[in-house]
Amino acid sequence: MDDQPEHLTGTEAREGTGPKSMRLVLGGGLLLVIAIFAVILFVAR
């Protein structure tokens, strides 16, 4: 058996989790898209 611990890279160790700011940017972008579609919906009437 191999008694050495498995070495993981930084990306493998964090398993794809990102900083909190990334969630804020994605959430803000989603809200912005929803707002734009709402404006288009009301203007198109």
Residue 2 located in a structural domain: no
Residue 6 located in a structural domain: no
Residue 9 located in a structural domain: no
Looking at residue 17, its pLDDT comes to: 66
**Domain residues for 37?**
19-45
Model's pTM, two decimal places? 0.58
Residue 1 located in a structural domain: no
Q: CA 12, CA 36: separation in Å to the nearest integer?
A: 37
How does pLDDT run across 18-41, given as a tens digit for each residue? 778 888 999 999 999 999 999 999
Q: Identify the residue with better confidence: 38 or 6.
A: 38
Looking at residue 2, its pLDDT comes to: 62
Looking at residue 16, its pLDDT comes to: 61
Residue 37 located in a structural domain: yes
Domain count, the chain: 1
Residue 44 located in a structural domain: yes
Residue 40 located in a structural domain: yes
Q: How many CB atoms lie within 10 A of CB 6?
A: 6
21 burial class (0-12, 13-18, 19+ CB within 10 angstroms)? exposed
Tell me the two tokens of residue 8: 């993981």
Looking at residue 4, its pLDDT comes to: 72
Looking at residue 1, its pLDDT comes to: 53
Residue 10 located in a structural domain: no
